[in-house]
Amino acid sequence: MSAATDSAVDPAATAGLAEPLVEVRDLVIDFPTASGTVRAVDGLSFRLEAGGALGIVGESGSGKSATAYALLDLHRGTGARTGGTVRVAGTDVLGADDTELRRLRGGRAAMVFQDPLSSLDPYYAIGDQIAEVYRVHVKATRRAARERAVQVLDRVGIPDAARRSRARPHEFSGGMRQRALIAMALACEPRLLIADEPTTALDVTVQAQILDLLHELRAETGMGLLLVTHDLGVVAGSVDDVLVMRNGTAVERGAVSAVLDDPREPYTRALLAAVPQVDAARPVVLVKQRTGDERKAAVEAPLLEAVGLRREFGKRQDTVTAVDGVSLTVRRGETLGIVGESGSGKTTLGRMLVRLLDPTAGELRYDGRDIGKLGDKALRPLRRELQMVFQDPVSSLNPRRSIGESIADPLRAAGELSDKAVVERVRELLERVGLEPDWYHRYPHEFSGGQRQRVGIARALAPAPKLIVCDEPVSALDVTTQAQVVALLGELQRDLGLSLVFIAHDLAVVRQVSDRVAVMRAGKIVEEGPADAVYDSPQHAYTKGLLAAVPVLDPVESAVRRASRKGLAEV
Amino acid sequence: MTTQDLTAVEAGAAGNPAAPAPGARQVWRRLRAQRAAVAGTAVIALLVLVALAAPLLSAIEGQNTTAYHPELVDSASGGVPLGSFGGISGDHWLGVEPGTGRDMFSRLVHGAQISLAVALGATLVQILVGVGTGLAAGLGNRFVDNLLSRVTDVMITMPALVFAIALMAVVPDSFPRPLLLALIIGFVAWGSISKLVRAQVLSLKSLDYVAASRLAGSGTWRIARRELLPSLVAPVITYAALLIPANMVIESGLSFLGIGVKPPTPSWGQMLSSANTWYEADPAYVLLPAAMLFISVLAFTVLADGIRTALDPRAASRLRIGTGRKREEAAS
Amino acid sequence: MIRFLLRRTVSAAVVLLVLAVVLYAVFYLAPGDPAQLSCGPKCSPAQLVQIREQMGLNDSVYVQFWHFLQGIVTGHDYSTGTGTVHCSAPCFGQSYRTGELVSDILVAKLPATASLAIGAMVLWLLLGIGTGVLSALRRGRPTERLLTGLTLAGTATPVFIIGILLLMLFCSVLQWLPYPSYVPFTDDPQQWAWNLLLPWLALALVESAKYARLTRSSMLETLAEDHIRTFRAYGVSERAIIGRHALRAALTPVIALSALDLGTMFGGALLTESLFNVPGLGQKLVQSVELKDLPVVVGIVLVMGFAVVIANAAADVLYALADRRVVLA
Amino acid sequence: GPKDSGGAKASTDAKPAKGGTLYVLNNQAQEDFDPARLYTSGGGNVPSLVYRTLTTRTRANGAEGSKVAADLATNTGEPSKDATVWTYHLKDGLKYEDGSPITTADIKYGIERAFAAELSGGAPYLRDWLIGGAAYQGPYKDKNGLASVETPDARTIVFHLNKPEGEFPFLATQTSFAPVPKAKDTGTKYAEHPVSSGPYKVIKNENNGEHLVLERNPNWSEATDDQRKAYPDSIDVQSGLDQAVINQRLSTGTGKDAAAVTTDTNLGPAELAKVNGDKALASRVGTGHFGYTDYIAFNPKVKPFDNPKVRQAIAYAVNRTTVVNAVGGSSLADQATTYLPEQASFGYTPYDPFPAGKTGDPVKAKQVLAEAGYPNGITVSLTHDVTKADEQGPEVATAVQDALKAAGITVKLDGQEHKAFSEKIHNVSTEPGFFLTGWGADWPSGGPFLGPIFDGRQIVKDGSNFNNAQLDDPAVNKEIDEINKLTDLKAAAVRWGALDKKIGEQAVTVPLFHPVYKRLFGKDIKNVVISDWTGVLDISQVSVK
Ligand SMILES: Nc1ncnc2c1ncn2[C@@H]1O[C@H](COP(=O)(O)OP(=O)(O)OP(=O)(O)O)[C@@H](O)[C@H]1O
Ligand SMILES: Nc1ncnc2c1ncn2[C@@H]1O[C@H](COP(=O)(O)OP(=O)(O)OP(=O)(O)O)[C@@H](O)[C@H]1O
Ligand SMILES: [Mg+2]
Ligand SMILES: [Mg+2]
């Protein structure tokens, strides 16, 4: 028996095994806001047996997190109203008094949050934070608690745990921080682990490691797992049962294999359909039919060519080389995909391609002319030919200007069209990207993320550019919206004969849209080639690792891959 | 030393430039929802009215600010007003000034003119200079930025009061004093607003929509006008609202030190400094200008608080648990 | 760290130099003849000529300014008539009016200013942080509303109004305290504290309002952060969360700001010194400005600027110490 | 008039005794403590405890105290027939604090020091009166010394003046006549530890005169000094105190403050209101008069003040009651219509050429103004100091402004910052036409009162000018010369008084008031003496036991 259960009288232990670990009945959660009450969860019920694993999936805002928080009644004191019953490990959560609730939190049920950076106190050493939590639940000396902290850190695979336990959160990488949070959860040996999007902020390879770790711990300690995620690929390999949520209610539930293989609800089906598959080749509809001549011309005269492009940040000893000697070509009418993990230099490269950033070294040839060193003035006429779509739909539109004005900007700057013609053209563009032309005078906050991304695309299209660099244009969107935006981009390219540079960290998305793919790592391109070739027979070890880490929708395949990753790691 | 540091700290928080801008009507609604801010606004409105109507009010009372009334004070006892609470009477609604016997009511309402005019004028100057230099520093090249930042540092280093004292002594006396005060306070205490604007510009500059505007072919000036200035309005207004009471305090401080407007023009700070020794013999003489100053500064401070709350995008959603970042997206 | 110090020193020197130039220019343009100042009211023209010569006022402004700068770096020798006195390295010259060495004046006036500033700071930190924490703890309850009202009133009250009211209350109506007159600590510590009590209180009341607001708002800000949620989710008690996690983060800006405020106050809290008759740098500065005693003005302002610059650097270091994520550069 | 001068009755009853410490609470620091820099009337209050001079003022109450007495010298001076050569002999047994004898060579050296540019400050008379004084550069630059001061032997000193000066004995009371031993001279540092010739020596001089501690000088002998009483064993002078604080502390009088006095702080108007209602406190107030007049000055070179009728109209219109109220009321100022203060020693002769009554005569003023050619009134600008509570400050200026309004004279106030104001009015090229100023005599006589202000030869073109009216009337000049020749001061006083009246009729100034001093002293203070010379409680006379 563990220290935790020794010291605390555990009502669940005496209640017998019949009681489920989690039992939620008719859960209702309301958030009162300035503009009325928001019902985030509406009559949700579900159970989780001891040692089981349940996944909760659903699109953004469907009430997943609100539900997860209700299990520890984290809504208490925030003004949110909760109704129904929630029993966790034998405790009536919503009815428990503060002391009782505190004993549950962290002691019998622990939680791991999405953003590992902000979930730890930046001022204290990680080991101390774990020890603090441990001492809340277990009578232990400071030293014993520290030792426990080192022990759990070691368990979650932090190398040199004793030393690293003295580090502060900012000295850890994202993956290590998430491991530390899991270690904190493990400290008191809880019977339930609630993980709210534990891997959303992480790269695929790290995500795979964390999911593997959770799997392992579950097998080892027998604790229950409640995994909240919007990524169907993540649930596939990690849980037994799945609950699909929409607008605060459960639309479908069942064994994970059953739900994923044979979804009954159209919503679930739509969710599934929208998930891009890394092993699916580029859909044919998107490929533009080109004549042989066109192809030839494209090969002979690249539109944009980078040679040994390099970019450094910082001064002297603090120099970071974000892009380190990248050479690539973008031909007329083709899409070049760029994939790579966070920090590999994708954005920096993309911004250099449209000359938002000055290259430190190397050449950038546009239409055969070196534009890498042109000044602001000289660039002005070229600006309209090179455009960009940005990742963040929030910050890429000026909240204080109507979207019509934002789109009209390049047209007005060019100063060729009359005011009326500009407005007319903007309305056309809005229609082109699937928005109402009458929305000209609306402001960005009146749009959803996907709609805003369309506005961004319309703005990029406005000056009739030759090339658009799309920097993670869909990463901030949920899967369904992602699919729509990707489709729009493909359609535009086909119709307008644009060249696209499509940057993403999501391998599957890149594969969907690209003719050719370049894989970036630490500022360099490690592998480049036609999309199918790169995905189907990767040459570089890094690309192989990347591909192996991608979660798949098939639980069986998922298990196979986990085993093979384990094999890779142990070799 | 003054409220300036505070305003810098607090106004900084108001400027999340990427946040959606509440519309003017929405701001007004949020402002109206705060009882204190409404009260502050009412007091300020009253004050402005009193200041504008000061000559009229004096005329109604039948007094003016300069007439001496030796018969109303006890000359042998240092000129203490005859009668209770500073010699309040039907003729002199708030009593008379010790020594001279000048009418307190007239002097107080005329003092409101000075306080308001100087505070507002100085704020205007601060905004113009501060926004100008802040923009230039934020958008200019490294040399311009360094130079302006150093100058700003000097302005912040130098306590406003000291510089103002020194400058007041240099300018010829023929220059109208209230205007001079407004100009000097304005030109001395623009450092922090400039710093704020520069910081805002630097953070705005890194936002994608500014990059998009550059891609659209906009020049620096066009970017400043179209993309930056509108986003600066909220933090600058918030800051300006905090500057007004701060300037009021500086003006009264200068007058208190005896270097503000010149007699016989009445000002509250000036009255307080003469009243300083009178708190035993004639408490009314101290309490009246002190109360006026306190109420005005308080009203402006309360209003500034209200404006900040109203302009603060987070004020709309005070509840925050869960994955904060996503919520803001969802909410917007 | 060394680079940080180096850069700070250089930029501090630049700031101070600009300050000196500005002051010199302002005062040079101002009406008033230093020789006249030194000579006194009934001075004959012949005497004026001699004094001008003696004080080096016949040199051009640039030469005078250069000599002034030289004095700061290398010191200066002054003739006493019968011999010379050496004014060692940071030498700001002599008062035009009394011929005293400015450095002596600074040394003489600093203790009062420092006593006022440091005492007031201790008080305002205690008051401010206490109030701030309390109102963060009691958020939404009547206590908070009361405290918010009080702090609002505090920020809205000019220090001289609070000062006069305190004098009125404690010295005149209640007669609990003597009308304050500064007694040096070295003479009588008890009297020192007793006489500084009111000025401390006046400054602290005004300043603490600001600190209370700052503490409260950064506390609330911190309490809304994700990592606080983590500790709540692990059953850590609210008291421990506030004491260990929220306060720690909230104090960082408070400490940094108080370093800055202390720096500014070292130049003298002009109004407080003048109201409570604390013979410090601020009071001397106001007098010297009125008398156009340039060397004294420049000396005091440079000391003030120096204090602020140091305080700025100290604030940054404190920030970095409190928050290891910040890199000094 | 000064009928009520002197200390209050209560304190004069008890017999003074030696011993104890006297505390002096002052506003202004004793910054110029060097005898060469000091510019005080009659040798100052605190300085005269340390510096003895050839002559000194008589330490007595009221008018008696405005006479000269011998100090180091055996008498008040032996003039030559035309009063251009003055001879003094030293008393026997005079010693410095270190026991060494005081010689006339030291007095000559002390006088020479007053000429040194290093030791700027001090009174202008030596420079103006002594032969060769104008060109002399002081002992540091000019080793040959000043020939017009002779010391035929160690006990004799002879002064050669460039013109008759019957009032030389008054001048000899100033601290530049204090002996300074050349060997002990430390130049600009001398004030830190001056060598005492008086009853006390300096133990401590902190922060340039901010805190002085004096202790009994054992080498001073009562036998050679019949003026200073020196009752306390030590004297502690603390300055830099706020005036309100000083009065507060003196009135409360707890602890050491019971044995405290002030030499430079008046009761303010606000405090008077309180004192007047408290008998016990009122008995601890001494009243003093000092020869000082505050007046309106005209520069007749500036239009419209070149027109005597305009000046007269203003003189008629002035309301002296509001003016007096503006400076603290009738307890702190006497209305003045004469230029000379109301003291016999000045030669006070009452007159009122343009009677305005207590509150002004706007009707008469209007009429005179019409005669001047301004029947519809006139707008003028009044220059004043902006320093608050100053006798030339805004309060008085606005009182004048208000009074003149009734006479159809619109006054624009031109407030100047203190330094700028004083430089402006004392420079003939910038002097405004109509301003507030005042004059105090360096000793109680008509000479230093009327001479610098109305003597045409004292108009200074390129320096500080005090003849504001720029009056250069040969008759006036001649009369001044004549009176200066008189060594009979009583006879001189009568003629000063007559001259005052004559000048007054020209309306080049409008006298406003003479300040009155109300001084509070501690409970234990005995033997309060306030002379009409200084108007201040004389600390060489008080005892604390
Ligand atoms: N504090 C709050 N105030 C107001 N509304 C809230 C609050 N927290 C959540 N909501 C609303 O409740 C609904 C459910 O939110 P929740 O965070 O549970 O969604 P989610 O499924 O976790 O989404 P995501 O995938 O974006 O994390 C959303 O509509 C959200 O806007
Ligand atoms: N302005 C900058 N100053 C300093 N370093 C920078 C700057 N921009 C990027 N870097 C650094 O350059 C490297 C590459 O950054 P970049 O943003 O190009 O990566 P990325 O591949 O786009 O990553 P992500 O997927 O997280 O967007 C990173 O180490 C980053 O810290
Ligand atoms: Mg969520
Ligand atoms: Mg990127």
Q: Which of A243, A231, A240, A235 is nearest to A271 (CA)?
A: A231
Residue of C nearest to A181 (CA): C230
Q: Which of A357 and B170 is assigned the larger pLDDT? A: A357
| Distance from C-alpha of A464 to C-alpha of B49, rounded to nearest angstrom | 57
Asked if B226 and A401 come within 8 Å (Cβ–Cβ), the reply is yes
CB proximity under 8 Å: A 244-273 to B: none
Average pLDDT (A56-64) is: 87
Confidence of residue A18 (pLDDT cuts 50, 70, 90): low
Q: Distance, in angstroms, between A249 CA and closest chain C CA? A: 24
Q: By the 8 A CB rule, do A309 and A326 touch?
A: yes
CA A236 – ligand 1 centroid, Å: 24
| Distance from C-alpha of C210 to C-alpha of A271, rounded to nearest angstrom | 52
**CB-CB: which of C164, C269, C286 is closest to B290?**
C164
Reply yes or no on whether the pLDDT at D283 is more than 80.
Answer: yes
CA A202 – ligand 3 centroid, Å: 15
| Distance from C-alpha of B211 to C-alpha of B93, rounded to nearest angstrom | 63
Token pair recorded at residue B139: 């958008």
Q: By the 8 A CB rule, do D534 and D527 touch?
A: no
Residue C51 DSSP one-character state: H
CB contact, 8 Å: B100 with chain D?
Answer: yes
Non-local (6+) Cβ contacts of C142 within 8 A are none
Q: Which of A391, A344, A345, A341 is nearest to A206 (CA)?
A: A341
Over residues A469-492, the pLDDT tens digits come to 999 888 877 777 888 888 888 888
Asked if A122 and C323 come within 8 Å (Cβ–Cβ), the reply is yes
A65 lines ligand 1 (CB under 6 A): yes
Helix pair angle (C247-266, C189-223), 10° resolution: 140
Alpha-carbon distance values, D132 to A220, C217, D37, D149 (Å): 112, 76, 20, 10
- Which H or E element spans position A471? strand A467-471
A37 lines ligand 2 (CB under 6 A): no
User: How many CB atoms within 10 Å of residue C20?
Assistant: 20
Q: What is the pLDDT of residue D513?
A: 95
CA A321 – ligand 2 centroid, Å: 9
Q: What is the pLDDT of residue A7?
A: 40
Reply yes or no on whether the pLDDT at A17 is more than 70.
Answer: no
Low-confidence ranges of chain B (pLDDT < 50): 1-19, 315-332
Q: Which of D237, D228, D129, D235 is nearest to D177 (CA)?
A: D129
Over residues A228-256, the pLDDT tens digits come to 988 888 888 889 999 999 989 999 999 98
| Distance from C-alpha of D176 to C-alpha of D193, rounded to nearest angstrom | 16
| Distance from C-alpha of B125 to C-alpha of C55, rounded to nearest angstrom | 40
Phi, psi for D62 (deg, rounded to 5): 60, -140
Residue of D nearest to B260 (CA): D386
Over residues A96-143, the pLDDT tens digits come to 898 999 999 988 999 998 877 788 888 889 999 999 999 999 999 999
Alpha-carbon distance values, D372 to A561, B135, D304, D335 (Å): 115, 62, 9, 27
Average pLDDT (A265-276) is: 84
| Distance from C-alpha of A269 to C-alpha of C222, rounded to nearest angstrom | 42
Which ligand has its closest atom nearest to the C-alpha of A37? 1
| Distance from C-alpha of B301 to C-alpha of C152, rounded to nearest angstrom | 8
Residue C83 DSSP one-character state: S
Q: Which of D91, D113, D112, D86 is nearest to D101 (CA)?
A: D91
The percentage of chain D sitting over the pLDDT mark of 90, rounded to a whole number, equals: 60
Q: What is the pTM of this model?
A: 0.81
CB contact, 8 Å: B172 with chain A?
Answer: no
Token pair recorded at residue D159: 């002064």
Over residues D213-262, the pLDDT tens digits come to 999 999 999 999 999 999 999 999 998 888 888 998 898 888 888 999 99
CB contact, 8 Å: C134 with chain A?
Answer: no
Burial C305-321 (b: 16+ CB within 10 A, else e): bbbbbbbbbbbbbbbbe
Tell me the Cα Rg of chain C. 24
Residue nearest to atom 10 of ligand 2 (CA): A322
C237 neighbourhood in chain A, CB within 8 Å: 102, 136
Confidence of residue D543 (pLDDT cuts 50, 70, 90): very high
Over residues D376-413, the pLDDT tens digits come to 999 999 999 887 777 888 889 999 999 999 999 999 98
Q: What is the pLDDT of residue B110?
A: 93
Q: Which of D540 and C307 is assigned the larger pLDDT? A: D540
Non-local (6+) Cβ contacts of D304 within 8 A are D310, D372, D374, D378, D380, D433
Q: What is the pLDDT of residue B16?
A: 46
Three-class SS state of B214: helix
Over residues D29-81, the pLDDT tens digits come to 888 899 998 888 888 899 999 999 999 999 999 888 989 999 999 999 999 98
> What pLDDT tens digit does each residue of chain C (329 aa) get?
677 778 778 877 887 888 788 878 877 777 667 777 777 767 777 777 877 887 777 888 888 888 888 888 887 777 777 777 788 778 888 888 877 888 889 998 899 999 999 999 999 999 999 998 888 877 778 888 888 888 888 888 888 899 989 988 888 788 888 788 888 888 889 989 998 999 999 999 988 988 888 888 888 888 878 888 899 999 898 888 888 888 887 888 888 788 878 877 876 688 888 888 888 888 888 888 877 788 888 888 888 888 888 887 787 777 777 666 555 54
- Which H or E element spans position D296? strand D292-298
Q: Which of C152, C203, C270, C276 to mutate to test the interface with B (most CBs of B within 10 A)?
A: C270
Average pLDDT (A49-59) is: 90
Q: By the 8 A CB rule, do C94 and C100 touch?
A: yes
Over residues D512-534, the pLDDT tens digits come to 999 999 999 999 999 999 998 98
Residue nearest to atom 30 of ligand 1 (CA): A61
| Distance from C-alpha of A61 to C-alpha of A477, rounded to nearest angstrom | 12
In terms of DSSP bridges, do strands D378-385 and D409-416 run parallel, antiparallel, or are they unpaired?
A: parallel
Q: In this predicted structure, which of A7-16, A331-340, A512-521, D421-430 has the lowest mean pLDDT?
A: A7-16
User: Which residues on chain D place their C-beta less than 8 Å from a C-beta of chain B?
Assistant: 244, 267-274, 276-277, 319, 321-322, 324-326, 328-332, 359, 386-389, 394-395, 397-399, 401-403, 405, 413-417, 420
Phi, psi for D212 (deg, rounded to 5): -115, 135
Q: In this predicted structure, which of A6-15, A53-62, D51-60 has the lowest mean pLDDT?
A: A6-15
The percentage of chain D sitting over the pLDDT mark of 70, rounded to a whole number, equals: 97
Non-local (6+) Cβ contacts of A379 within 8 A are A355, A371
Asked if B259 and D331 come within 8 Å (Cβ–Cβ), the reply is no
Average pLDDT (D335-352) is: 91
CB proximity under 8 Å: C 252-291 to B: 253, 257, 260-261, 264-265, 267, 269-271, 274-275, 285-286, 289-290
- Which H or E element spans position D212? strand D211-216
| Distance from C-alpha of A370 to C-alpha of A366, rounded to nearest angstrom | 6
A443 lines ligand 1 (CB under 6 A): no
Q: What is the pLDDT of residue B18?
A: 44
Token pair recorded at residue A129: 């934070």
Task: Please report the sign of the dihedral spanned by the C-alpha atoms of residue D191, residue D192, residue D193, residue D199.
Answer: positive
Residues with CB under 5 A from ligand 4 (ion): A 347
Q: By the 8 A CB rule, do D285 and D265 touch?
A: no
Q: By the 8 A CB rule, do D297 and D435 touch?
A: yes
Reply yes or no on whether the pLDDT at D540 is more than 60.
Answer: yes
What residues form DSSP beta bridges with D204? D213
Instruction: Give the ranges where B97-207 is alpha helix by DSSP (H).
Output: 104-139, 142-157, 160-170, 177-188, 191-205
Instruction: Give the ranges where B264-282 is alpha helix by DSSP (H).
Output: 268-275
CA C160 to chain CA centroid, Å, is 16
What helix, strand, coil percent values describe chain A, rounded to 5? 45, 25, 35
CA D11 to chain CA centroid, Å, is 26
Phi, psi for B249 (deg, rounded to 5): -65, -40
Phi, psi for C316 (deg, rounded to 5): -65, -45
